[in-house]
A and B are shown apart, each in its own frame.
Chain A
Amino acid sequence: EPEVTQTPSHQVTQMGQEVILRCVPISNHLYFYWYRQILGQKVEFLVSFYNNEISEKSEIFDDQFSVERPDGSNFTLKIRSTKLEDSAMYFCASSALITDTQYFGPGTRLTVL
């Protein structure tokens, strides 16, 4: 069964460093998303991406964040200068159509020291 994969599973970084989180969405899906979940809190939307453009972004997704689809299979989230409050689980998701079911990856746990 097709699934969304994410790497790395755990990333530890120093405050102020850049990190890139990687995702491989389900192959025939057209819509891609990033969400985050701070420990003990709800899953929060960051950004959606379609046709090589951002469709929507939340207030969390400020200038420190960027997304890219560098090739036909990968989808990345870059945090330019990490802050302590960026520590969270980051989930990638994909869907075939815009209001279709979103399938989530296993997540990357980001720890900022």
Chain B
Amino acid sequence: EDQVTQSPEALRLQEGESSSLNCSYTVSGLRGLFWYRQDPGKGPEFLFTLYSAGEEKEKERLKATLTKKESFLHITAPKPEDSATYLCAVPNQAGTALIFGKGTTLSVSS
């Protein structure tokens, strides 16, 4: 069964304290890995798509990387406005649906 596992479930950081979030997956024939940000009561907001091992994407304080079995979302010098739940998702084998992980809830305090 295709699965997506994210760790840690929750992460508390001080402003400026860099860290990484992990997403591991077991789907075969990966057709892309997607990172989303979700604020409470809102829909997932697209951040990055990664398609092949070794690929990296950056946006402001966020950088996403991909290996054959996992992806990392690196957060450099986070600010309180980076507080949110970060979701990882992969397509199922048919590519007709996204399988989501449970997410990592990030809290950044000033």
Interface residues of A (CB under 8 A from B): 4, 6, 33, 35, 41-45, 48, 55-56, 58, 89, 91, 98-99, 101-107, 109
Contacts and interface: CB of A to CB of B under 8 A. Distances in A.
A106 B42 contact: yes
Contact of A105 (B32, B43, B95, B98): B43
Q: How large is the interface on B (under 10, 10 to 19, 20 to 34, 35 or more residues)?
A: 20 to 34
Contact of B43 (A98, A101, A107): A107
Given A42-B102, A106-B42, A107-B43, A101 B97 contact: no
B96 interface: yes
B43 A91 contact: yes
Interface of B: 31-32, 34, 36, 41-46, 49, 87, 89, 91-92, 94-103
Given A43-B100, A45-B99, A56-B96, A104 B91 contact: no
Contacts of B100: 42-44
B98 A98 contact: no
Contacts, number: 58
A99 B43 contact: no
9 contacts: A45-B97, A45-B99, A48-B97, A99-B31, A99-B32, A99-B95, A101-B34, A102-B34, A107-B43
Counting chain A CB atoms within 10 Å of each CB, which of B32, B94, B97 scores highest? B97
